[in-house]
Amino acid sequence: MKRSDRPRGMTATGKTREAVIVFFDAVIERRFSDADKALDEVRGRKNANPEFQEGYIKALEGILTSVRSGDERDFFNRASTTEEGLEKHSKDFRELLMKGRPKPFDTGFFSAWSDLVHYRMAAKK
């Protein structure tokens, strides 16, 4: 993905964002060793809120496990990737993040999924 095509609206920033984009590229292309390396890079980055970071990383680990397994019951493997479907998922994750006062772990977790949706929406364009 060219720099000008990079997704907007992602919560990850700077070098972490670059590693997350490499992770998403690798996961979607089923290059698992590259995805593992990118995930290790994300793990190595410092975040001002360690609980947020833990939730974000747990979501990325879950995404990778889901893709590796290919289990059709997993959200990643059954979620619609049409433009309309991605818009709906984006809205759903945004609503989850806005509902009440989620804990930092939950915010990190759903932010990672939201970043994946933003990434896929940008890749469709």
Distance CA 26, CA 18 (A): 12
* pLDDT tens string 15-55: 889 999 999 999 989 999 999 999 999 999 988 899 999 99
Measured CA to CA in angstroms, residue 55 lies from 2, 25, 82, 109 at distances of: 28, 20, 27, 4
Longest pairwise C-alpha distance within the chain: 38
Residue ranges of the domains in the chain? 3-124
Q: Which residues contact 7 (CB under 8 A, 6 or more apart)?
A: 21, 115, 118, 119, 121, 122, 123
CA end-to-end span of the chain: 11
* pLDDT tens string 69-90: 877 766 665 565 667 776 777 6
